[in-house]
Amino acid sequence: MNMIELNVTGTLLEITDEDKSTSGSVNYDRCEFTFDSEWDGFTKTAVFSCGGCDSYRADITDGACRIPPACTEKEGILSIGVFGVDDNGTVIATNSVAHRIDEGTDSGEWIAEDESLVRNAIRDFEDYADRFAERLENRINTFIANVTNENDVSLRADAGKNIFPNEDYEAPEFTGAAALPSVSNGSEYDDFFAYKLDDLVENHPEYVTRRVIGTDASGEYPIYLYSFEPESYDKTLLITSTVHGSERIAFFALCSFLEDLCTRADSDPQLNYIRSKIKLAVVPVVNPYGLMHQRTVNSANVNIGCNFPFNWSACPNSSKGAEAADQAETGSIISLLDELDSDRLCAAIDIHTNVINAAGCTVFYPRFSRGCVCELADMINRFISENGEGANRDMAVLMSSVNPTLTNYAADAYGISACELVWNNSVYGGTSSDENIGMFTEFIGRAVYTMAKECRRSRREPPAPFAKYYSWSSSQGDTYTVAASAEAQKMAVSAYSLSPNFPCLIRADGSVTLHVTSECTVTVAPLLYQVMSPELDEADIADSGRFAHRLTLGAGTHVIPVSSIIQAHYACWNSSSDSYCAEDVRFTLAFNASAANTVSVEAFSVLLYIQPSDCARPVEMSVPMGAAAYYSGDDIPIQTLAYPLGTYTITDGNFND
């Protein structure tokens, strides 16, 4: 059995001897305490915490106790403290000491990476079971209430309908994919609108109207807006499709949903909610020329999906246009957004089809805007759980984007919720199959309902800002000597970890005290990074050298200020591997020196300030162009945006290619 021996003198707790502990051990690690006379008459309790998380108590009996199993589940730093209470209510408490838990052998029940997933799945299933049981009881009571009498099991006309309805929108079976309008078959531009939308205008004139909001860059095709407007409404949603003209299946699936909205709202509660409370402003074809010529770009060979004035200058796409918003199609959408801004605009949804990864469906949200991300994630999980039979149908991607897209611009400029739906035709039966369009229709309907229900006209209040302060100093022979190495080495005792569940701006400010015995060059690098982030992980931050100091110091004691900043986000895919997620934000100090055994760290202190953010661009770090000699007097240097915007993920680029 492992033993940690500790001595307690008054309020001072010290480790006098310790065995090596490993994660996964249960009831194998014990603590033995030696108390001085000040503890006589006190009931003694040990307090344990691993990784700064939950605390666990253990009664100290005969000077010993077992370490709670929860504290040895994972590797990390185990904090140990003691308090005592006597009969008079007097409390005595010690300092905390640290004991290392090394990584142990996996027990084999499940791999470590899957443990939290399994536990979350069990919890989610239990929650769902409770909700389902409640709904089941209510439906059974409704069923019984509709029986005419206790001896007659015949039902009223509507008693058997929707006894156990699905909570989510279910599209009716789609038929007729083989007869869809097609340029290849000679269809004209107006034939696409005559397919379903113009009939909706004719048959539901009190609800559906059409008008022209502009002309495309070729000057040949009008851009139509279809408004689905109830008598009174709380919110307005902008829905667009065919930004990339070759993605005509997005147009057909959207039309199918809109037809369902007009004809089945009385029988579907989600359609009824949208029909009665939400105005939909729908631009079904943003890029008419692309649609009619079966290509992504417009007549000027510009990709409208990269032409909006959000982070445009940093976009590497060669088809983004000569300037931001220099295309007629882009200008028409921006003018419409300006108009809708005074008409309770709350959200924007842009619909696409593309094979950007193996998943059946992908949802992009603006990188620095929370929007309805959590609610969309729940919707996606339900959708794939119901339709997961078949290759890659159980796969979905929710990820952030920094492209100059319609939705990113809308979220940034108007403070609304926004997302892009990207459907993989190949996963659901092929491009022009009934099943594919039917499933896509259902996915669109669920996304529209989710956004309609959860978006708000005014931005939601994010969590309150908070701060974390921690410090360390060398004492009792505890020193850290800076190594002479090619790269800065991390000082493990300076590490700190945060787990954000919302977009946030994190700033680190502090200082490091160094003792130098003889002149040398020292690098002090504050590394603030996000684990597995596609652009802001440890390697990216370290390689960039941002925020690092490289100084030549003489013999003596020096106090060096340190600072860093990061915009943390969360997504389920990091664009370089399906296997990893953007995870914890970590801070650590790293050092190297030009000569060995000449520099030691005497102390550091760091304040981490966490500012939750719900805006699209909270961080803009820029650098002046050119040399200092270029400027004089009252000149204002031209700034180049360097961080964090401007770095594109693999998928961001592929999506608009």
In order, the DSSP letters of 401-459 are: E-S--HHHHHHHHH--EEEEEEE-GGGGT-TT-HHHHHHHHHHHHHHHHHHHHH--SSP
Q: Is the pLDDT of residue 491 over 60?
A: yes
- Mean pLDDT value across residues 477-482: 85
Q: Is the pLDDT of residue 648 over 50?
A: no
Quote the percentage of the chain above a pLDDT of 90: 51
User: 262, 254, 258: which is closest to 206 by C-alpha?
Assistant: 262
Instruction: Report the pLDDT value the prediction gives residue 53, as an integer from 0 to 100.
Output: 63
User: 280, 299, 291, 273: which is closest to 195 by C-alpha?
Assistant: 291
Which residue would you say has higher pLDDT here, 497 or 615?
Answer: 497
Instruction: Report the pLDDT value the prediction gives residue 110, as an integer from 0 to 100.
Output: 40
Please give the Cα distance from 290 to 322 (Å, whole number): 19
Please give the Cα distance from 406 to 414 (Å, whole number): 12
Residue 172's CB is within 10 A of a number of other CB atoms, namely 14
Residue 291: band (very low, low, confident or very high) from pLDDT cuts 50, 70, 90? very high
- Mean pLDDT value across residues 101-108: 71
Q: Is the pLDDT of residue 154 over 50?
A: no
Can you list the positions of beta strands (E) in 89-177? Answer: 91-93, 97-102, 147-149, 152-155
Which of 47-51, 110-114, 641-645 is predicted least confidently?
A: 110-114
Residue 241: band (very low, low, confident or very high) from pLDDT cuts 50, 70, 90? very high
Q: What is the pLDDT of residues 573-587, one digit of tens each?
A: 434 444 445 568 899
The number of residues in the chain equals 657
Quote the percentage of the chain above a pLDDT of 70: 81
Q: What is the pLDDT of residues 341-380, one digit of tens each?
A: 999 999 999 999 987 777 888 898 887 676 788 788 888 8
Which of 217-221, 384-388, 455-459, 605-609 is predicted least confidently?
A: 455-459
Q: What is the pLDDT of residues 41-65, one digit of tens each?
A: 999 999 988 766 677 889 999 999 9
Please give the Cα distance from 319 to 557 (Å, whole number): 56
Provide the Cα torsion 235, 241, 243, 244; round to 10°. 160
Which of 96-105, 158-167, 310-319, 536-545 is predicted least confidently?
A: 158-167
Calculate the alpha carbon distances from 200 to 323, 342, 446, 498 in Å: 38, 26, 21, 52
Please give the Cα distance from 596 to 380 (Å, whole number): 55
Q: Is the pLDDT of residue 103 over 90?
A: no
Q: At 271, which amino acid appears?
A: L
Tokens of 48: 């344990």
Instruction: Report the pLDDT value the prediction gives residue 75, as an integer from 0 to 100.
Output: 81
